[in-house]
Amino acid sequence: MKKKWIKLIILAIAVVIVILVAKRFFVQTEPVNSVPEQIAQKEPVEWHGNYIWDGTTENNQWMCFRKRVDLTKEEIQKVVAQIAVDSKYWLYINGEMVVREGAVKRGETMNSTYYDEVDITKHLKEGTNTIAILVWYWGDTSISHNSSGQGALLFQAKTGDHYLISDETWKVSKNPAYLQDKIRPNGRLIEYNVYYDASLASDNWYTQDFDDAKWANSTVLGTAGSQPWGELIERNIPQFKDFGLKEYENMVEYKDYTTEKKETLTLKIPYNAQFTPYLKIDAPAGKKITIKTDFYENINGDSVKCTYLTKAGEQEFESPAWMNGENVYYEIPAGVKILSLGYRESGYNTEMTGKFESDDAFFNKIWQMGNRTLYVNMRDSYMDCPNRERAQWMGDMTLEMLEAMYGLDTSAYDLYEKGIRTTIGWIQNEHVFLTVVPDSEEGVLHLPLQALAGVHSMYQYYQYTGKREFLEYVYPYVKNYLNLWYVREDSGLVDNSNMYYIWEWGDSSGNVDYEALENAWYYLTLSEVSQMADILDYEEDKLEFGNRLQNLKQNYQKLWTEQGYKTPNAEKIDERTNAMAVISGLADCEKYDTITNLLTSSYDSTPYMEKYILEALCQMGKIEEARRTHQISL
């Protein structure tokens, strides 16, 4: 499984290398996102709704809400709902699914909740309407979600001159079919396993005809903006994309098949995707079916799975919680007739509009695989992986944004900007950029090299989009962060040891020349922040940064040896350091041959920094060397 994980990351960075090679060697490839978009200013929301629940605070709860309302023709001309929950919701109107997995994981700031705006006009009718909402409350913390500590639903929609709001008149009931399997996949993953007992289900609870007279009335817990849910921030990414329900590629092998013993069936998806699994079967009651993927077991703990307990007769079920993989394993006991097994792919709402063509099949394949791997790592945020933790690490987000500029349409802008706002929203002491946000699981975590890479990505984002307003927004924060570094008297190089939260992660493999690598990253980042200052007309900042750059470059040359750049205390010459010396402009062309020999003969770096090694080779004009090195690393 470790090999799979490494290969996954390698493929994620590979598309960037294809871009670099393409510019030199093959068909010209241009970024598809080159025109800045104007952002319309919206009127602030007038809040009237309440947070409601059933009065409990248990983790991993599935709660059902219902509200009937009579509306006139005039009241349904234009109706936009604002909906906020901790943690996810599914919206039905008059028995029809309107939103599948609404809400974004909490955490743009340390005390805030996102709300969705949903135009529900076309789903309403004159007369009696039924609004039904399923809410999944996680109630725990992770490195991707900052729990409020209390499950809740907030709903409001203006209908004519009146507001339809969540209050004590809404009916509420725990969904009895969703049980606890008492297995938390792993501490980094916020999502729980799904454990569903069909014999306990009220399949039509969301329809108009369902009788909810025995349901309790909701308990009002607070008003919009109250604690513990905090500030309400409008969802700033699209609703997730629904590709529709499909049968697996090899479902024909199991059509009308009845299991004679406990079997594990392997179903095929064309590629590693985010999806929800589906089944339609005929079975006796009490049969336990388990669904998981080829990514269920991994080096840092289990991923999610789904358990389904049958009722008697023909039945169908689609798990609402997504998993990922390309091989899906259905463990089915004896006596179950399979009518259909399928999946619903979902993901971030963007299109793969980028194109690349080469006369080399290897690079064409890498482009396809890299673009697909990029997409499976996008949802609530850019993430490091879709199975183990689903967390926004600053370094991973940096690489993925760069890939998106060539592979995806402009809707991918929103996910990166959301990530930067979250990063800035979690700045605490000393102006430090935390590496993983929201960071409510492991406390504060600062990896300086990833933070510097993140600042680097902010300037690159401006170069691709031309969004001056983005540069204006981030500049004060990046300036404050870079000013935290101080110059050591003994070497003239910068140091960060006076900061809090340091984790000296250089690349997690081999002997890292951390000081030299850190200074190369700092030089690159400072040079780009200096350019930010120039664009924004901060002349004093530009002058100060220029002097700092000149001194740093002079002192860095003292590290040069016959084999490459190296600090005296480093155990060996580090290829990562020398690659970044090239990319940052610290190394002049007279040093290129020496650095090329190093980069093509040393393989200490992990896939994260391998991208920069290959980029350095391309920047030095060593295209064939980059190609051979990349094929060896794969």
Q: What is the pLDDT of residue 503?
A: 74
Length of the chain: 634
- Taking only the tens place, the pLDDT of each residue in 492-510 is 999 988 776 677 777 878 8
Confidence at residue 632, expressed as pLDDT on a 0 to 100 scale: 59
Q: Do 2-30+349-633 and 50-235 show the same overall fold? A: no
Does pLDDT of 12 surpass 80?
no
Are 522 and 452 in contact, with CB atoms under 8 Å apart?
Answer: yes
For 200, list phi and psi in degrees, rounded to 5: -100, 0
* CATH class for the domain made up of 50-235: mainly beta
**Res. 22: pLDDT tops 50:** no
Which residues sit opposite 51 in a β-bridge?
154, 222
pLDDT for 401 beyond 70: yes
* DSSP state, residue 566: -
Q: pLDDT digit string (tens) for 330-380?
A: 999 999 999 999 999 999 999 999 999 999 898 899 899 999 999 999 999
SS3 431: helix
pLDDT band at residue 323, thresholds of 50, 70 and 90?
A: very high
Predicted local distance difference test score (pLDDT) of residue 184: 78
pLDDT in tens, 235-285: 999 999 999 999 999 999 999 999 999 999 999 999 999 999 999 999 999
**Residue of 326, 327, 287 whose CA lies nearest to 307:** 287
pLDDT at position 384, please?
A: 92
In this predicted structure, the answer to whether residue 386 has a pLDDT above a threshold of 70 is yes
Across the chain, mean pLDDT equals 91
pLDDT band at 430 (very low <50, low <70, confident <90, very high): confident
| 441 band by pLDDT with thresholds 50, 70 and 90 | low
Q: Which two tokens stand for residue 52?
A: 């409601």
CATH of 243-347, one of 2.60.120.260, 3.20.20.140, 3.40.50.300, 2.60.40.10: 2.60.120.260
Instruction: Note the pLDDT of residue 48.
Output: 97
**CATH-assigned architecture of domain 2-30+349-633:** Alpha/alpha barrel (1.50)
- Is 625's pLDDT higher than 70? yes
- Model confidence, pTM: 0.92
Q: Is the pLDDT of residue 562 over 80?
A: yes
Rounded to an integer, what distance in angstroms lies between the CA atom of residue 628 and that of residue 433?
36
pLDDT value of residue 445: 84
**How many whole angstroms separate alpha carbon 423 and alpha carbon 436?**
8
Residue 7 is predicted with a pLDDT of 45
Q: Which residue has the higher pLDDT, 205 or 443?
A: 205
Domain ranges of the chain: 2-30+349-633, 50-235, 243-347
